[in-house]
Amino acid sequence: MNKKCIGCGIILQEENKLMDGYISSSDHRLCERCFKIKNYGQNKVILTGNEDYLKIFNNISDNDLVVYVSSLLTLNLDYVKRFKNILLVLTKRDILPKSVKNEKIVNYVSTIYNIKDVVVVSAFKKVNLDVLYNKLEKIGKGKKIYFVGSTNSGKSTLINEMIKSYNGIDGEITVSSFPSTTLSTIDVKIGNLDIIDTPGIVCEDSIINFLDLKSIKRLNSKKEIKPITFQIKGNGSILLDQLCRIDYDTDISSMTFYVANSLNVDKISLNNNIRMLNYKSSTYNISNDQDLVIEDVGFIKFTNPVKIKLYYKDNISVRIRDNLI
């Protein structure tokens, strides 16, 4: 059988340095790309097509258990309906303010998505790993347990953390801020559980596919977010870093940004500022108590109806949802 890279799951090969999975010596267990990510924080960005994970999804049977992993920041559950037997894991709890109650989030997903089995975790702060492990022992023993979800949602980090906690050794799966880190399935045993890590689902319109490495790192929050609130009235404009410009029109509302603390959020004058006005734009009507989600960036909470116009240079993927918090 072909040997796989222990970091990303790609089949290892010694023939072509330019192709994925290259190793310079047959005793290496990590491909060159994973070696560079782990040792130098560099990454050769690989844009995987959706066919790869759709093929993996098709291999998941109704008897298998799917652990659907989503970051709490943008809460992307696009593919959740595809699977019969799922446990929803909402991760990166450490990013959301402590004042937000877990019960509220669990209640939100159970009301909106009708998902009853939900665990809120943080791999970084080791929050609720025991709850997750015990749940998996109960409902996943003897089954194949697939970890699936959007790229960057934190699947591999969570699996590594569980390997550390329950096998007592360091997990070796490669993790990074960049999209498409895991390239193929990786089988690991945690205690008696058969876990399979999978490549993340890529949102093709997400801005993360168009940014340089430094900018991607700035989007990935490693700390609790400090929300930034503006009271808005009439017409005005806010710049979200160099990512987008948001022109608003409202009687009165508040606008709270939940994005990485390293991003700059600034109110600018509509009249004498032309920044980003020549870029692409889209208009959205947001009604009472809704959020605007910018995929892989964060979300903006509004308290009253607002009409907004978004200007952006690269593609940007946006959703409107009921207020999460």
Q: Which of 94-102, 150-158, 159-167, 284-292 is the region at the interface with Mg ion (rule: CB under 5 A)?
A: 150-158
Told to check if 171 binds ligand GTP by CB under 6 A, we report no
CB atoms within 10 A of CB 168: 7
Nearer to Mg ion, 5 or 244 (CB): 5
Q: How would you classify the pairing of strands 186-190 and 144-148?
A: unpaired
Within residues 123-142, the interface with Mg ion by CB under 5 A covers none
Binds ligand GTP by CB under 6 A, chosen from 87, 123, 243, 244: 123
* CA neighbor of 306 nearest in space, from 244, 240, 252, 230: 252
**E strand map for 37-185:** 65-71, 86-91, 118-120, 144-148
Binds Mg ion by CB under 5 A, chosen from 152, 182, 221, 253: 182
Q: Which of 52-60, 130-138, 151-159, 211-219 is the region at the interface with Mg ion (rule: CB under 5 A)?
A: 151-159
What is the smallest separation between the CB atom of 245 and ligand GTP, expressed in angstroms?
27
Q: Which does 298 bind (CB under 5 to 8 A by kind): ligand GTP, Mg ion, none?
A: none
Told to check if 179 binds ligand GTP by CB under 6 A, we report yes
Q: Which two tokens stand for residue 201?
A: 């689902």
Told to check if 220 binds Mg ion by CB under 5 A, we report no
**E strand map for the chain:** 65-71, 86-91, 118-120, 144-148, 186-190, 193-197, 228-240, 244-259, 265-268, 280-286, 290-294, 298-302, 306-312, 318-322
Q: Which two tokens stand for residue 168?
A: 């007592």
Nearer to ligand GTP, 182 or 206 (CB): 182
Q: Which does 70 bind (CB under 5 to 8 A by kind): Mg ion, ligand GTP, none?
A: none
Within residues 180-209, the interface with ligand GTP by CB under 6 A covers 180-182, 199-200
Residues across the chain: 325
What is the smallest separation between the CB atom of 200 and ligand GTP, expressed in angstroms?
2
Give the CA angle between residues 95, 99, 103 to the nearest 5°.
Answer: 90
What is the SS3 assignment for 157? helix
What are the residues binding ligand GTP (CB under 6 A)?
Answer: 91-92, 94-95, 122-124, 151-157, 175-177, 179-182, 199-200, 220-222
